[in-house]
Amino acid sequence: MHSVRELLSLFAMNPSAESHSIPLSDGNRIPLLGLGTYGDPRTTPKGTALECVKLAIDVGYRHFDGALVYFNEHEVGQAIREKIADGSVRRQDIFYCGKLWNTFHSPELVRPALERTLEALKLDYLDLYIVELPIAFKPGNDFYPKDGDGNYIYHHTDLCATWEALEACKDAGLVKSLGVSNFNRRQLELLLNKPGLRHKPVSNQVECHPYFTQPKLLEFCRQHNIVIVGYCPLGSSRDASWVNVKCPPLLEDELLVSIGKKYNKSSAQVALRFNVQRGVVVIPKSFSPERIKHNFHK
């Protein structure tokens, strides 16, 4: 965690323009602030993503982070298309990131998976497509295959072969940029050192916030012109199945709250600004209209 002085100096800097974006190594650009669109499909009412993405576009968001396994890409795509149709935005104004799920790592399954996302969105191309995890599950219709004992069924695949299939998708014009998620240094080096590499990963999406600043990974990625995209920028999910909910939430941290009071900002806005001013892209997830607006004015 940074010192009080470091956080204060970061926050006192002139704020970036709301639409600010940074360059990717392949010549494209990515907005520093995006909206995460995950919602538990078991509890999120239908139409929620549709209305929230439309609102977000009206507020000023241009970057949306989604995935096939969120089961709502059809709503996100509909929202984008409706806002294009009413003249609010053009397709080239929107940056959409999709993800290759674990059951589609086999090279012959990569393009069909990407095409499923495009079909759900009803868009012609993705701006960024990333390998969601550096592990593979058994291919099939079940996204979370388990054995009789309830253990996940993994599948041996070659990440370099998966990457080559992604490179072919980029060459075919289905996606503009390629990246990864949850990769450590060794896994990144595996791709960067791959013989015949034609398109290097431009981004690595990982958990990143003031409690988990990822200094070593951030420095390695900077050295290789890989942008860090931080998910959970407001702190880890409070899911009791994998987080100790007895620990205080990040947004109640005394340091963040005190900085917020000094600058008349919330602790959430301070946490977002902390990463943005380090060049880390942030994709806070929210289906709350008020928080969507609040987070944008970081």
Just list the catalytic residues: 70
Tell me if 26 sits within 8 A of 262, measured CB to CB. no
User: Could you tell me if residue 140 is left (phi over 0), alpha (psi between -120 and 50 degrees) or otherwise beta?
Assistant: left
How is residue 194 written in tokens? 């791959």
**Using alpha carbons only, what angle is made at residue 209 by residues 261 and 47, rounded to the nearest 5 degrees?**
90
Tell me if 250 sits within 8 A of 256, measured CB to CB. yes
Distance CA 268, CA 250 (A): 9
CA dist 18 → 76, 222, 232, 296 (Å): 21, 23, 20, 7
74 annotated to bind ligand: no
Report the amino acid identity of residue 247. C
How is residue 216 written in tokens? 């070593």
| Annotated binding-site members | 155
Binding site per annotation, positions for substrate: 155
